[in-house]
């Protein structure tokens, strides 16, 4: 079929991504009719017809009924540029609505999971560029069946971004005080070190009931798992070991043997 004659129904359907049946229907209702004919008499779509089809597709994607689309396209007071400007505006509005819906779905999904109701972007903005949002899912996978995770979910589900900002600021202050104590040579087991260990336990207890025995189990990770060690030692050299020892000494002062402490 010579290109100057236009495109047949089949080729047009393939080009614009609709079925031949759809094109026949739009032809029948007068929405888009093939305006040309080949030398053999076959009806074909011209370049202008194809452009009209694309405009129909945009309006259909926006949810307009066919009758309304036809009225918009055939309005003699509206030129092609105005059509395109209107379509672009409608598309931008639709994109904004869809993005809002995606955000809402993300929050609903988080709500069914419970716990932190923050998007990945909000987490990084609040907890810093070093924060990895995947840690939340990893924690859920590791602890999701525990009583403590159920407590965490219940206590954090209704927290707002501002609540999390305040919690992050509280953690930052605690870590700064821990680092300062380490640098000042505060001895684990001293009254000052015990008070800091209790502050550390209190921050954990906001999310789940953390006993001294459980805090000891957590403190062991500070020197056993590289991620914890690197984090605390970046705040102050040797802080990971110092904090573990401070928590151990404070637990012992409360009748818990750090060597035999278990998660309970």
10 φ, ψ (degrees, to nearest 5): -60, -45
The pLDDT value recorded for residue 115 is: 58
Query: Which tokens sit at 52?
Result: 């009209």
CA pair distance 207, 149, nearest whole angstrom:
8
Q: What is the pLDDT of residue 2?
A: 43
Whole-angstrom distance, CA of residue 197 vs CA of residue 177: 11
Q: Which of these three, 92, 119, 139, is where a domain ends?
A: 92
Note whether 219 and 153 are same-domain residues: yes
Number of domains in the chain: 2
Say what the pTM is.
Answer: 0.54
**pLDDT on residue 46:** 92
Q: What is the CATH number of the domain that holds 139?
A: 1.10.490.50
Structural domain includes residue 219: yes
Mean pLDDT in each 10-residue stretch from start to end of the chain (264 residues)?
Answer: 69 92 93 87 89 89 84 76 76 81 65 62 80 74 78 83 89 94 96 97 92 94 90 94 97 96 87
Based on the fold, state whether residues 84 and 187 are members of the same structural domain.
no
What pLDDT sits at residue 112?
47
Token couple for 226: 């590289």
CA distance 182 to 243: 8
The parent domain of residue 149 ranges over 129-253
Q: Residue 205: what pLDDT?
A: 92
State the pLDDT at residue 185. Answer: 96
Q: What is the CATH number of the domain that holds 87?
A: 1.10.1660.10
Question: 134 and 63, same structural domain?
Answer: no
């Amino acid at each position: 079929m010579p290109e100057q004659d236009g495109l047949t129904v089949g080729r047009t359907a393939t080009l614009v991504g609709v079925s031949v049946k759809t094109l026949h229907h739009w032809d029948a209702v007068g929405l888009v009719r093939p305006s040309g004919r080949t030398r053999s008499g076959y009806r074909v779509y011209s370049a202008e017809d194809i452009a009209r089809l694309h405009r129909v597709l945009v309006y259909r994607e926006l949810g307009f009924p066919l009758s309304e689309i036809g009225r918009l396209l055939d309005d003699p007071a509206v030129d092609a540029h105005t059509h395109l400007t209107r379509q672009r505006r409608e598309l931008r509005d639709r994109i904004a609505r869809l993005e809002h819906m995606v955000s809402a779905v993300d929050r609903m999904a988080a709500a069914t999971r419970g716990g932190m109701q923050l998007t990945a972007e909000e987490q990084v903005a609040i907890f810093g560029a070093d924060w990895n949002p995947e840690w939340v899912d990893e924690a859920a996978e590791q602890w999701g069946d525990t009583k403590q995770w159920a407590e965490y979910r219940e206590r954090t589900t209704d927290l707002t971004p501002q609540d999390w900002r305040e919690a992050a600021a509280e953690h930052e202050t605690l870590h700064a005080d821990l680092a300062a104590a380490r640098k000042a040579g505060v001895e684990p087991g001293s009254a000052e070190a015990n008070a800091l260990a209790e502050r550390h336990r209190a921050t954990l207890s906001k999310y789940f009931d953390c006993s001294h025995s459980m805090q000891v189990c957590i403190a062991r990770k500070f020197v056993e798992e590289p991620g914890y060690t690197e984090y605390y030692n970046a705040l102050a050299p040797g802080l990971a070991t110092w904090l573990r020892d401070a928590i151990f000494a404070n637990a012992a002062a409360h009748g818990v043997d750090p060597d035999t402490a278990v998660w309970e």
